[in-house]
Amino acid sequence: MAILRVSPNLALDQAVAQRQADGEPLVHMGFGEARLPVFEPFVERLAAGSAATAYGPVAGGAAAREAVAGYFTRRRMPTGADQVMLAPGSKPLLMALQLAVPGDVLIPQPAWNSYAAQAAMAGKQVFGVPIPAACGGVPDPEEMRRTLRAARARGHSPRIVVLTLPDNPTGTLASPHLVHEVCAVAEEEDLIIISDEIYRDIVHDPATPFLSPAEVAPHRTIVTTGLSKALALGGWRIGVARFPADGCGRRIHDDMVCIASEVWSTLSMPMQAVAEYAFSEPSEVQEQLTTSARLHGAVARAVHGILTGAGASCRPPAGGFYVYPDFEPLREELGYRRITDSSSLFQHLLDTYGIAVLAGHHLGDDEGALRFRAATSLLYGDTRELQQLALDSPDPVRLPHISAVLERLDESFAKLTS
């Protein structure tokens, strides 16, 4: 059994919350949460669904599964209701996939921290594959081939690759060309693709092309998503998975139902009522997604500008609410402050400037690299009123409460690198 520890992002969030409660004025960018007020129609659906107190079918009730199937079908992935499954968050679905699909696992490096932890808990070997220069969320295809060869030569059996589109932690989106390339390697090497598309509906620019691996390699791709990020319902725990219609897809789906039946039984029925409504995407939900994507994009771009202005290199954010700067160009200057790696960079930012971020090594990156992930969605304000103001604003970075925190970041990073 792998050594167990609390997921570093959740641990950091709790530590920051404690320090803030003790009166420390921290700028918290360490936790990947879309901090937005609940969209009122969801509350109504939840209340209406609360009378349903029976357990219900393991994979989810027919109405919720139909809605989810429609969601995927509208995204060029024709889907039947028997191909989908709902669960209390996509995280348990991703864990169950590690149990249901045999073989070791390739993940991009860096990647969302839970992939490696979950694979290790399932007794698998994890291989981090460096990401390409253009974006994260996918392994560099050539490095992927090299890693596969080396892993097999050492007696391992990689059978799974996990992709994140758009990506956490880099906030970038792999191009259709790269998706094709990675799928081609997966085909050649007979890998199952797990495509985590939880940030898909908050790509900042609606003109950005999105290609799911399930469109390119439909027989070997499982897609997961949920309402935690795009619709800011993290604490409500609503996740879904889509399986290939045939072949191994059916078997994996059936095994997942067995695992779910022994672990979480089903997604709670009131949450299924919310899921049915959200995944059917009435116009007001679509509007909420558009507005949220606009806000996430505006603030992520502003923070990206501050970091690159201070001299860091950083891929421009394209979706979700993260940036992942690299302070390598400033290694010498940072060295004078005894900042030499990911841990010391994190600690210095916290202790000197009160800025909390997630250090890159927690995301599988090299400990020696000067990288971290900043979750920019935590800058929208501490109250529901301020967050709603941010959501409603055509120019959120000019709102006094957001521009004040951006100024603080600007001054801090300018000082750090001066």
Q: Does 234 bind ligand PLP (CB under 6 A)?
A: yes
Smaller CB distance to ligand PLP: residue 92 or 397?
A: 92
Smaller CB distance to ligand PLP: residue 7 or 280?
A: 7
Q: Does 168 bind ligand PLP (CB under 6 A)?
A: yes
Q: Residues 28, 65, 91, 294: which binds ligand PLP (CB under 6 A)?
A: 91
Q: Does 89 bind ligand PLP (CB under 6 A)?
A: yes
Cβ–Cβ < 8 Å for 231, 285? yes
Three-point CA angle 63, 73, 140, nearest 5°:
125
Q: Residues 83, 98, 228, 268: which binds ligand PLP (CB under 6 A)?
A: 228
Q: Does 239 bind ligand PLP (CB under 6 A)?
A: yes
Residues touching ligand PLP: how many (CB under 6 A)?
13
Q: Residues 213, 226, 270, 319: which binds ligand PLP (CB under 6 A)?
A: 226
Q: Residues 30, 32, 139, 270: which binds ligand PLP (CB under 6 A)?
A: 32
Q: Does 276 bind ligand PLP (CB under 6 A)?
A: no
Point out which span in 61-69, 85-93, 180-188, 277-285 binds ligand PLP (CB under 6 A).
Answer: 85-93
Q: Does 166 bind ligand PLP (CB under 6 A)?
A: no
Smaller CB distance to ligand PLP: residue 79 or 168?
A: 168
Q: Does 319 bind ligand PLP (CB under 6 A)?
A: no
Q: Which residue is nearest to ligand PLP (CB)?
A: 89
Smaller CB distance to ligand PLP: residue 79 or 228?
A: 228
Show the site string, 92-131: x = touches ligand PLP by CB under 6 A, - = not: --------------------x-------------------
Interface with ligand PLP (CB under 6 A): 32, 89-91, 112, 164, 168, 196, 198, 226, 228, 234, 239
